[in-house]
Amino acid sequence: MRLIGMLDSPYVRRVAISLQLLGLPFRHESLSVFRTYDRFRAINPVVKAPTLVCEDGTVLMDSALILDYAEALVRPACTLLPATLPALRRELRLAGLALAGCDKAVQHYYELTQRPPERRHAPWLDRVTAQMRAAFGELERELAHQPLPAASSAELTQAGITAAVVWHFVQSTLPGVVDAAAHPALAAHSARAEALPEFRAAPHSGGTAHVSGSAA
């Protein structure tokens, strides 16, 4: 399998980390939807990161759908999702909060970096910033009440991966927009996860994931 996209995208990064934890070999190709647009378009005309090229050449996109496929490849031998319905409900709530915060963070970032200053829409920026902060506020309350395990790779679930990756992305890309001091449980969870080998193998950067046993 080939994973296309840059690791400074939290969506690409959550897939790269999840594939490792699921034991699925892959080759990472660090292509940008901006700087290497034509090369990306030759693989996926939609130019959406992440893109996964499957073993038979089928092109998948959207991190959630790619991860659904990855889970189907290895289940029941391995999964990043809880088995019981109550645990799965909480897992999906936490992942949803993290992804909502991520979506709004990306919108905030693009408003600042892709639109000329004179054309920025302040009410829109205020709205997505408020939504982003609300998502992380809810996530912090959840983790303060019941932390996600992240002391070892074996403990991580999909919500734990996503929360850690998204928090690191926001703090790296939009420093100060979401106050780290006001989110100690989330910050601590992300720090523990970032120390794990699967996270270190796929760092938040423009580089290539260094995954042992990757597909050639």
CATH number of 85-198: 1.20.1050.10
Give residue 140's pLDDT: 98
| DSSP secondary structure code for residue 213 in this structure | T
Q: How far apart are CA 91 and CA 63, in angstroms?
A: 16
> How high is the mean pLDDT in each 10-residue block of the chain (216 residues)?
97 98 97 96 98 98 98 96 97 98 96 90 95 98 96 96 98 96 98 97 86 50
Q: Which residues pair with 27 in a beta bridge?
A: 2
> In terms of C-beta distances under 8 Å and separation of at least 24 residues, what long-range contacts does 183-187 make, across chains too?
183/136, 183/137, 183/139, 183/140, 184/140, 184/144, 185/140, 185/143, 185/144, 185/147, 186/136, 186/139, 186/140, 186/143
> In terms of C-beta distances under 8 Å and separation of at least 24 residues, what long-range contacts does 173-177 make, across chains too?
173/8, 173/105, 173/109, 174/105, 174/108, 174/109, 177/105, 177/108, 177/129, 177/132, 177/133
Give residue 212's pLDDT: 57
Q: In the chain, where does the domain assigned CATH 1.20.1050.10 lie? A: 85-198
The mean of the pLDDT values for the chain is 95
Give residue 216's pLDDT: 32
Total residues belonging to the chain: 216
For 133-179, what is each residue's pLDDT tens digit?
999 999 999 999 999 999 999 999 999 999 999 999 999 999 999 99
Give residue 206's pLDDT: 65
- Superfamily name with CATH number, domain 2-79: Glutaredoxin (3.40.30.10)
- Which residue reads 């580089």 in tokens? 207
For 142-153, what is each residue's pLDDT tens digit?
999 999 999 999
> Residues 6 or more apart from 134 whose CB is under 8 A from it?
none
Q: In the chain, where does the domain assigned CATH 3.40.30.10 lie? A: 2-79
pTM of the complete model = 0.94
